[in-house]
Amino acid sequence: MIKKTIVQKPFQIIIFGASGDLASLMLFPAIYNLYAQKRLPENFQIIGYGRTKLTRNQFQKIFHQSIVKKYGQNPYKLTQLIDHLYFFSGPYDDLKSYENLNQFCKKLAGTEKVDQVAYFSVPPVVFADLIVNLSKTIKNSNNKLKLVIEKPFGTSEKTAQELVKILGKHFDQRNIYMLDHYLGKIPVQSIIQLRMENNIINQLLNGDLISNIQLTAFETADIGQRIGYFEHTGIIRDMLQSHLLQILSLITMDIPNHPNRNSLEREKYALLSAVHFSGKKDDLVIGQYQGYQKLRGVKKNSKTDTFAAVKLSIDRRQWFDVPIFMRAGKKLGQTISRVVIEFKTMPFQNHNCAVNKLIFEMKPAEKIELILYKDAKHSKSLTKMGGTVSLAHNLACVGDECLTEYATLILDILNGKKDYFLSINEVLASWKITDDIMKTKNRSDLLNYKGGSEGPKSQYRLTKKENFYWYES
């Protein structure tokens, strides 16, 4: 029987940007998730910090609504959890306010020694203020203050380097948690686990056997309330820069002997620094959905990409002729989040025959699927065989108790486990690739596509198969 991971030490999490969307949609449900499963100690406090002037009571109501929205009316033990919530309002650039916050936190902790976490649920433009002010106040009282910073870390390699510089000046790397929530997803963590533990899967993930890899993150959702962020970010920086490149690195990196954080980090970084974008316009398709420009907050003639498909390569012997297709888009006909690995056929086989595939799927289902085709010699039909492993009740579950991706990662942060967080080197290497794509984006045509469709119609003359590489349907 797997033992349930719990947090034993008393703690405080200060959520900066606590009145925003990310907090309500992801962080509050994650905290509830951990609490309802009795994984938190008796003594802890969640302190919201934001520019919006909220009373403690108002903040508790917002929290309450977010949980009811996710888990339905009367969620188990919610009233007790609400007692652990506080709110402190103030600007991000005023040192005095952080001094007061520090006093406030000390008073709440009383005589108890508590672990403290500062969670940045704010736009990157305020990161620098937070880092500097926290280092002069709370970190002075608690040298082990942990910082949690969500992707995107900066907007380019240059701005990420600036962020790294400022972080390095004020905080010890060991206390910085760079979070990409995809690394909290069960199917993504399963890639590492399977590769570590299952040699058959690991032997299959060999570039000599693979004809191509396709990573897809399609959403039916549009940009909704997030224009302020998305308009100057675009899909390439939003989805490819961290989420998809991280998954690619997990699938194609060399497997370290010891699955500890340092070796994982070394191998992921080695892989990411070998990923290459050609700079050719033909290797990038970008699009914007019709109606995007009518949204409030979007610039007239905005060039923001809401769809992108890109062809990458990996500069390593076993991967050098394996094209990597990455595609992501908003307001499409389907929500799909998966990696399809297509295997090579044998030289004497009919090249049009269906190919064997290994699929890691995050959405719509959480599963790993191996599809094997039997090429029936005398008939045109193919027999599909293979197996599917459903992951829903796997890694993040103990019995019926499963954790959301954010809950998994918050649990790790509170327990000081950094395996599923990013290193600075990985972040910079990913930006280097993204910057190269962005340069080409500026020279490429932004294609229009209808909401609910498969994305923009290709401007190239593509065969059905090639078309599939760009737009999974």
Shortest CB 22 distance to ligand BG6, Å: 9
Shortest CB 46 distance to ligand BG6, Å: 22
Shortest CB 33 distance to ligand BG6, Å: 15
Nearest to 469 by CA among 102, 211, 192, 149: 211
Question: Both tokens of residue 338?
Answer: 């998966």
Residue 31's alpha-carbon distances to 28, 408, 410, 411, in angstroms, are 5, 10, 8, 9
CA 34/CA 40 separation, integer angstroms: 6
Residue nearest to ligand BG6 (CB): 238
Nearer to ligand BG6, 238 or 361 (CB): 238
Nearer to ligand BG6, 249 or 337 (CB): 337
Nearer to ligand BG6, 115 or 219 (CB): 219
CA 264/CA 193 separation, integer angstroms: 12
Which amino acid is present at 306? Answer: T
Shortest CB 233 distance to ligand BG6, Å: 8
Which DSSP string do the residues of 199-224 spell out, in sequence order? HHHHHHS-TTTEEEEEEEEE-S---G
Nearer to ligand BG6, 87 or 127 (CB): 127
Shortest CB 172 distance to ligand BG6, Å: 26
* Residue 4 DSSP class: P
Measured on CA atoms in the order 8, 12, 16, 19, is the torsion positive or negative?
Answer: positive
CA 325/CA 312 separation, integer angstroms: 6
* SS3 state at 311: strand
Which amino acid is present at 31? Answer: I
Nearer to ligand BG6, 337 or 430 (CB): 337
Residue 356's alpha-carbon distances to 4, 326, 352, 402, 473, in angstroms, are 38, 19, 12, 32, 18
Shortest CB 219 distance to ligand BG6, Å: 6
Nearer to ligand BG6, 179 or 413 (CB): 179
Nearer to ligand BG6, 89 or 159 (CB): 159
Nearer to ligand BG6, 106 or 363 (CB): 363
For 312-447, where are the alpha helices, taking DSSP H only? 405-414, 424-441
Q: Is residue 85 exposed (0-12), middle (13-18) or buried (19+ Cβ within 10 Å)? A: buried
Shortest CB 340 distance to ligand BG6, Å: 16
Shortest CB 339 distance to ligand BG6, Å: 13
Nearer to ligand BG6, 219 or 454 (CB): 219
Shortest CB 15 distance to ligand BG6, Å: 17
Contact between 423 and 429 (Cβ < 8 Å): no
Binding interface with ligand BG6 (CB under 6 A) = 219, 238, 337
